Amino acid sequence: MTGELSPIDKAKFVAAKRAAEFVEDGMRVGLGTGSTAAWLVRCLGEMVEQDGLKILGVPTSTRTAQLAREVGIKVISLDEARWLDLTIDGADEFDADLSLIKGGGGALLQEKIVATASDQMVVIADAAKEVEHLGSFPLPIEVIPFGWQTTQALIEETLVSMDVMGRQASLRMNGSVPFVTDEGNHILDLHLGRIGNPRQLAMVINQIPGVVENGLFIDICDKVVIGYGDGRVETRDINEGTVSEDRLDFVETDNLFRDI
């Protein structure tokens, strides 16, 4: 129940609850991956069950697809949807320009494809995810398994000429074996400390052979909904240049908080 949630989980919940209000009947909605996005899927599932909301959800991972089906959201593929009205997803970091680092959950490739196939992307996050400069969170790079060590060496060599503080790259592991994405690839996490020019870094990294995609989301996010542990919610719209704030009350709902 909500009374048992940590302040961080409360923050994630209120951000997700507010963002769910952007979803309208008949929409095709991209569903993100990660702990905050899972709250959003649960909120939408409650709206489907209790309010009769009718939407088509395009998940960004097998985990999200499974959860969406469990809560009653009709799931289709991006190829079936072709284009989306809205994508709502979390972020590992965001800055004042609403540039993001994503991929902590390992789904950055599908997340970026879905987000860029949407009229609008809304990011939901707790306040701790806001940073002055991107880079404290390791930057995920999805790479093909073939020659990944060569790709890693090329990335580290390239970082010498980039405006970053650190240059170490490490292979993400799942226990004793390499982590494998839904697309069958590996992830290299770049420990950069600070990224001085995210746009330049994103362009250069993607030119390296073996790199599939990077976790920098530039000029993709339209709104960020920031949740706080006391129930406050702040919404920033980068296109309108507006900032609004209100507060949500916690309501205990068995369907929403089961298995939490």
Of residues 252 and 222, more confidence is placed in: 222
Q: What is the pTM of this model?
A: 0.94
Average pLDDT over residues 100-126: 98
pLDDT at residue 238 is higher than 90: yes
What six digits make up the tokens of 115? 């987000």
> CA 212 to CA 143: how far, in whole Å?
5
State how far Cα 204 lies from the chain centre: 22
Q: Identify the active-site residue in 46, 93, 111, 213.
A: 111
Q: Is residue 69 part of a domain?
A: yes
Residue type, 252: E
Residue type, 109: L
Q: What is the CATH number of the domain that holds 173?
A: 3.30.70.260
117 is in an annotated binding site: no
Together in a domain, 31 and 81: yes
Q: Is residue 118 part of a domain?
A: yes
Q: Mind giving me the DSSP string for 127-179?
A: GGGB-SSTTSSPEEEEE-STTHHHHHHHHHHHHTTSSBS--EEEE-EETTEE-
Amino acid 2: pLDDT: 47
Together in a domain, 195 and 148: yes
Which residues constitute the domain of residue 193?
139-214
Q: Is residue 22 part of a domain?
A: yes
Number of domain units in the chain: 2
With CA atoms as reference, report the closest residue to 232 among 210, 218, 249, 257.
Answer: 249
Q: What is the pLDDT of residues 167-200, one digit of tens each?
A: 999 999 999 999 999 999 999 999 999 999 999 9
**Biggest CA-to-CA distance, the chain:** 55
For tokens 């707790």, the residue is: 126
36 is in an annotated binding site: yes
pLDDT at residue 213 is higher than 60: yes
CB 223 within 8 A of CB 238: yes
210 is in an annotated binding site: no
Tell which of 182, 198, 214 closes a domain.
214
Together in a domain, 26 and 91: yes
Together in a domain, 123 and 189: no
Average pLDDT over residues 107-124: 98
Average pLDDT over residues 227-245: 97
Amino acid 249: pLDDT: 80
Q: Is residue 52 part of a domain?
A: yes
| 3-state class (DSSP) for residue 197 | coil
Q: Is residue 28 part of a domain?
A: yes
Q: What is the pLDDT of residues 240-251, one digit of tens each?
A: 999 999 998 865
Burial class from Cβ neighbours inside 10 Å (0-12, 13-18, 19+) for residue 194 reads middle
Together in a domain, 115 and 225: yes
Amino acid 192: pLDDT: 98
Together in a domain, 188 and 161: yes
Together in a domain, 18 and 75: yes
Together in a domain, 39 and 144: no
Q: Is residue 134 part of a domain?
A: no
115 is in an annotated binding site: no
User: CB 212: neighbour CB atoms within 10 A?
Assistant: 17
Mean pLDDT of the chain: 95
Amino acid 260: pLDDT: 42
| Residue 111 known to be catalytic | yes
34 is in an annotated binding site: yes
With CA atoms as reference, report the closest residue to 88 among 45, 58, 51.
Answer: 58
Q: What is the CATH number of the domain that holds 95?
A: 3.40.50.1360
Together in a domain, 181 and 84: no
Together in a domain, 90 and 207: no
Q: What are residue 219's phi and psi, to 5 degrees?
A: 60, 35
User: Around 108, how many Cα atoms within 13 Å sit in the side-chain half-sphere?
Assistant: 27
Average pLDDT over residues 107-132: 98
96 is in an annotated binding site: no
Together in a domain, 80 and 181: no
With CA atoms as reference, report the closest residue to 59 among 13, 115, 134, 1.
Answer: 115
Average pLDDT over residues 139-149: 98
